[in-house]
A = this chain, B = another copy of it.
Amino acid sequence: MSTYFSNVPPIAYEGPTSDNPLSFKWYDKNRIVLGKRMEEQLRFAVCYWHSFCWNGLDPFGGDTFQRPWQHMADPMAAAKAKADVAFEFFSKLGAPYYCFHDRDVAPEGATPRESVNNFREMVDVLAGKQEAMGKKLLWGTANLFSHRRFMGGASTNPDPKIFALAALQVKEAMDATLKLGGANYVLWGGREGYETLLNTRIGHELDQMGRFLNMVVEYKHKIGFKGTILLEPKPREPSKHQYDFDSATVYGFLCRYGLEKEIKVNIEANHATLAGHSFEHEIATAVDLGIFGSIDMNRGDMQCAWDTDQFPNSIPETALAMYTIMQGGGFVNGGVNFDAKVRRQSIDPEDMFHGHIGGMDVTARALLIAEKMITDGKLAKLVDDRYAGWNTPFAQSMLDGKMGLDAVAAHVLGHNTDTQPVSGRQEHLENLLNSYI
């Protein structure tokens, strides 16, 4: 049993007035919010990669964290030590879920077979720990971007052998996710894109990716996995351009390859802003398109246009995201994952707790604000009123296809139609929003 965090007690809810930085001020897991326990509404997950695999490296410098399990000689022993620490952390923090890539939990072997064996052995370890600690898997995924073989993409690689190697990894990761009771399976296309159009056939690569995802969906049904398959949009980085640019782009891709009923999206706040959108825009778009699945609740830094993967800390921004999600019906299989890392200078083990506590608290507080907004209903009423004109028979006959362009034009000329525009009331609405905070 790991004692890496021995200085940190289990984190408890102590309320907003507590002075204890190692307590929850807002995340009160059993409090009923919008008809469910907070824990069930939010379905918090800790990510394995940033928390236990990253060593603080950035493009300009190396390991700052010096985690002991990252300096062990035997890879499988290191993997097991890491799993011990991870579950110690999950347990003390009190988040119900976690997420992982295959290579986070088990080392790459010298051959495909050895990699598979390593992974399967570690999946059994994880299964045992889940059972022992009462933890669950929000989603599994395969790392198809770190190994050099994937430098030019996985399913979109010009080399079909790499496509095949990716298929093996995904098949195994899906088997693992099923075995561990995962609620979703995620595919993030970090190198599914291009560095330069000069060497790229976009059409061929998209066809490859379309086929790959159809294979994933077929296999899901074959093995009886009941969770949701999720794509994770991101516009760029590491690639110059990534095919899963944003939710609207993913929707078009899914339609093209017949997948729009089978695959949803895992939306990350940081990826939304990199694509030129707000987080709530991406959520609202996915909800409208019927492909909203799950979120990675980690923000970027608006002064730094790359993926900083920071824990959320803006109360109003997180409130807007939670309001949009809750209005869309809340999570089904999805949940709130933190694809977040403590800053490179946050080298103390305790810093990992500060990061997650802050993220969970701001999200819980955001949920409580969303509850007030929904219960009160003022905002929704103002929006309903704005569109009320569309309930008239004339408006409906335009929308439902009964009137064509010329009929509408004739109507306008015949009635000498004119209309005064109505205030959009943005400032009023923004003030109203702040009144809930």
Partner of A198, one of B58, B214, B252, B429: B429
Partner of A386, one of B116, B199, B387, B426: B199
Q: A285-B202, A304-B236 in contact; A424/B222 too (CB < 8 A)?
A: no
Does chain B have a CB within 8 A of A2?
A: no
Q: Which residues of B contact A204 (CB under 8 A)?
A: 387, 390
Partner of A398, one of B152, B164, B311: B164
Does chain B have a CB within 8 A of A394?
A: yes
Binds B, one of A5-13, A78-86, A273-281: A273-281
Does chain B have a CB within 8 A of A355?
A: yes
Does chain B have a CB within 8 A of A171?
A: yes
Does chain B have a CB within 8 A of A33?
A: no
Partner of A168, one of B159, B275, B413: B413
Residue of B nearest to A55 (CB): B148
Q: Which residues of B contact A57 (CB under 8 A)?
A: 59
Binds B, one of A38-46, A176-184, A345-353: A345-353
Q: A160-B390, A347-B421 in contact; A167/B245 too (CB < 8 A)?
A: no
Partner of A58, one of B59, B197, B412, B422: B59
Partner of A151, one of B21, B61, B164: B61
- Residue pair B111, A430 in contact (C-beta under 8 Å): no
Q: Which residues of B contact A25 (CB under 8 A)?
A: 435
- Residue pair B197, A284 in contact (C-beta under 8 Å): yes
Does chain B have a CB within 8 A of A330?
A: no
Q: Which of A301-360 contact B (CB under 8 A)?
A: 301-307, 311, 313-316, 320, 324, 342-348, 350-351, 354-355, 357-358
Does chain B have a CB within 8 A of A375?
A: no
A191–B222 CA distance with the chains assembled, in angstroms: 46
Q: Which of A177-227 contact B (CB under 8 A)?
A: 190-191, 195-204, 206-208, 211, 214-216, 218-219, 222
Does chain B have a CB within 8 A of A74?
A: no
Interface string of A40-73 (1 = CB under 8 A from B): 0000000000000000111111111010000000
Q: How many monomers of this protein are in the complex?
A: 4
Binds B, one of A87-95, A126-134, A262-270, A403-411: A403-411
Interface string of A236-248 (1 = CB under 8 A from B): 1110110001101
Residue of B nearest to A203 (CB): B288
Q: A112-B416, A197-B284, A358-B434 in contact; A236/B425 too (CB < 8 A)?
A: no
Does chain B have a CB within 8 A of A256?
A: yes
Interface string of A89-125 (1 = CB under 8 A from B): 0000000000000000000000111001000000000
- Residue pair B148, A412 in contact (C-beta under 8 Å): no
Q: Which residues of B contact A150 (CB under 8 A)?
A: 61
Partner of A171, one of B174, B195, B405, B419: B405
A409–B176 CA distance with the chains assembled, in angstroms: 14
Which of A16, A161, A206, A389 counts the most chain B CB atoms within 10 A? A161
Which of A289, A361, A408 counts the most chain B CB atoms within 10 A? A408
- Residue pair A199, B425 in contact (C-beta under 8 Å): yes
Q: Which residues of B contact A252 (CB under 8 A)?
A: 248-249, 251-253, 255, 289
Residue of B nearest to A66 (CB): B148
Does chain B have a CB within 8 A of A140?
A: no
- Residue pair B306, A421 in contact (C-beta under 8 Å): no
- Residue pair A428, B161 in contact (C-beta under 8 Å): no
Additional pairs, 15, CB under 8 Å, beyond known A61-B147, A113-B413: A61-B238, A113-B416, A165-B417, A167-B409, A167-B412, A195-B424, A197-B284, A208-B399, A219-B406, A276-B276, A305-B306, A313-B316, A315-B434, A358-B427, A361-B434
- The 3 nearest A-B residue pairs measured at CB: A252-B252, A345-B424, A305-B305
13 contacts between A and B (CB under 8 A): A66-B148, A113-B413, A116-B413, A151-B347, A158-B389, A197-B284, A241-B281, A248-B248, A313-B433, A346-B423, A347-B421, A354-B431, A355-B427
